[in-house]
Amino acid sequence: MRTTINRSIRRAAGAVAALAMLLTAAGCSTEGGGEATAKSADDEVAQTAAAELEKLYGDGTFTEPSTTGPKAQPGYRVAMVSSGIQSPTGTSTANGARDAAKILGWDLSIYDGKYEPSEYQEGIRQAISQKVDAIWLYSIDCPLVRTALDEAKRAKIPVFSQEAADCSDVDPDAPSYYERSLQFPEGDFIAWGEGLGASQAVYLLAKLGADAEVIEVSNTELVITKAVHDGFQKKMAELCPDCEITNVPVRLADFGPALQEKISTALLRSPSANGLAVSYDDLMTAGGSAAVLASGRNESLVVVAGSGYEANADLVRENKGQDAGWTYDGRYEAWSAADMLNRYFAGEEPTASGVGISIFDREENLPSPGEAFKVGFDYESVFKEVWGAS
């Protein structure tokens, strides 16, 4: 639920809060899970970060899709190969792709890669054997499937990427395999990923200022998760070069008890840490929140992750080890990717999607119970109008 009322209240209270800071020589600790210590008015780090954070509330950098483009190009056979459809991101993307394809008049098949690179390649090979008109990859980086992509290239089947890095993105000397890749307001896929990490740094510094002492839990096995890590580190260095950051590297194989133990150990070793950044929401539900609660420091840590799906929105709402995160609207992204393919089929140039970045916490952008974050505008009606399906 869009919290425009909360936004208005917060802005109206801004002058009072500023006056309160001017009257305090030092910060006063506040009660409540992960609430920041009030910062003195001369904390430039907090002020700069707060100005950036304000721009990330509401729809943030999300924008409505282009109102011009080709009509629906029906009759095409398209195969989506997803890295996996069991996670909230995979599920919402697959459902969004099905609905968009139905409107566009496509025969869409979806292959579940089950988060196994060997399955990704199998999905691509099945699409080739079916002689589809296009292969749509979701969250599958080119280097993981290069052999199968060589086969698709020989079969002259164009491959499109949504949330994935081309081989040439990772290695400048490598060839490009993707016909088109979804673009974001921040730029390409990697730039968008870095923006996600940067938003976490902005949130923590807006709450903690120059006193921030942060533990960053990061996974760099994937291009996207490495980009989140890089973006976080860059923004922290830009806004608060003297702030202390302790990096805790984790692996996908750590999900569960091993992940909780790593985060618990990091908290024990950094008793004065007041901030925790976790690359994305799955790390919170797979051990992160449990570690924070078990540490007894839920009230003194500001914890930020990402995505804004139901389980993590509940953690924020119920003060169970997470305070904020960047947002994700998988359905909007899937419709934007479908529009990218439709423009290709129509022989038209691509356009950047409006899928951007915003922040949710208890006061802003917190979804209604049982729901995931959604942008605050009706993008479906815009796409339907463009596609001639309204």
Contact of 306 with 326, CB cutoff 8 Å: yes
Give the pLDDT band (50/70/90) at residue 33.
Answer: very low
- Residue in 328, 309, 324, 323 with CA at minimum distance from that of residue 370: 309
pLDDT at 245: 96
pLDDT at 39: 60
The single-letter code of the amino acid at 48 is: T
Half-sphere exposure of 254 (CA within 13 A, CB side): 20
pLDDT at 196: 97
Residue 237 pLDDT > 60, yes or no? yes
pLDDT at 80: 98
The single-letter code of the amino acid at 231 is: G
Rounded to the nearest integer, the mean pLDDT of the chain is 89
Give the pLDDT band (50/70/90) at residue 118.
Answer: very high
Mean pLDDT computed over 201-228: 94
Question: Which carries the bigger pLDDT value, residue 84 or residue 106?
Answer: 106
- Residue in 80, 344, 300, 336 with CA at minimum distance from that of residue 184: 336
With 0-12 / 13-18 / 19 or more C-beta atoms within 10 angstroms meaning exposed / middle / buried, residue 48 is middle
Give the pLDDT band (50/70/90) at residue 17.
Answer: very low
Contacting residues for 287 by C-beta, under 8 A, at least 6 apart: 254, 255, 256, 257, 258, 259, 260, 261, 263
Phi, psi of 302 (to 5 degrees): -95, 120
CATH homologous superfamily of domain 4-62+190-327?
Response regulator (3.40.50.2300)
Mean pLDDT computed over 123-132: 98
Tokens of 279: 């690359």
pLDDT at 205: 98
Q: In what order do the strands lie in the sheet with 134-138?
A: 107-112, 77-82, 134-138, 159-162, 180-181
**Structural domain boundaries in the chain:** 4-62+190-327
